Copies of this chain bind each other. A is one copy, B any other.
Amino acid sequence: MNRAQANMPSSPLGRKINSYMSLTSEERTFLADLERNVTRHGSRSDLLQQGERYGCVRVMRKGWAIRHKALPDGRRQVVNFVLPGDIIGFYCNLFETADHGVTTLTPAEVANFQPERIIELFKLFPRLAAALAWSGAKEEAIIAERLLSVGRRTALERTAHLIVELLRRLSIVGLVEEGRFTLPVTQEILADALGLSIVHINRTLRRLRDIGLIDLAGQQITVHDVKQLASVGQFDELYLHLIQAPKQLEHALDAKPDRKRAGD
């Protein structure tokens, strides 16, 4: 966090990567170039539709979105929240069609680039490729944790857990102030993220408010006692480490591959 301003990438993605691996100027240039083509979208607009052929890879620069999957009869599951700095459809572009949709929750600023650039990335900037791949693994970990929530935690626990998760993720990109952040979601979306009904989410939030763990005012949510909320949600510190930066990543990425060769 104490790096010279001049060296700080200006995009959330750049900042995110920079937070666990310092970038060479070539890498920085390449990354910035990927984010050059920016488009703006209104609230509630589809960045990707389930079943659609993938177009370009997208990077969220500003705003929130959700990744969601729907059943034919309309039941829906929100798989994850897409926050600034997150990538949409990284490898997925190699799939035939999208198995999920992505929809903005707020007005959003999105960078777009061609999937071929990813192959280029793999060939020219292996360190960067590995870093982005690691980022993808992190997302998988988040989804697995949500699966644990939905499969095994009670309504109160899952709700508490999700709030702590969002708090943690947002504070990495500097969007939390004194336990307060903007939560631009309807209760319907929370319900779809947690596998609950709207009514029950409503009652659960009320309970969390009554206990005095959170405050809700419009889209502002305030977490009074993160520790207690985390304990209600059984928020695991192991999981926290995943969301934050790994210490040995940079070191690992800088290891010279040639020293120990493959077929010794």
Contact = CB atoms under 8 A, between A and B. Distances in A.
A56 B96 CA distance: 33
Q: Determine chain A's interface SS by DSSP, over half rule.
A: helix
Nearest to A76: B152
The 8 closest A-B pairs by CB, nearest first: A151-B195, A91-B137, A120-B257, A122-B126, A77-B148, A123-B257, A75-B152, A77-B151
A69 B145 contact: yes
A94 B239 CA distance: 14
Contact of A97 (B71, B117, B146, B238): B238
B71 A152 contact: yes
Interface in A220-237: 234, 236
Contacts of A90: 137
B260 A116 contact: yes
Q: Give the interface centre of A33, A122, A239 by most chain B CB atoms within 10 Å.
A: A122
A150 interface: yes
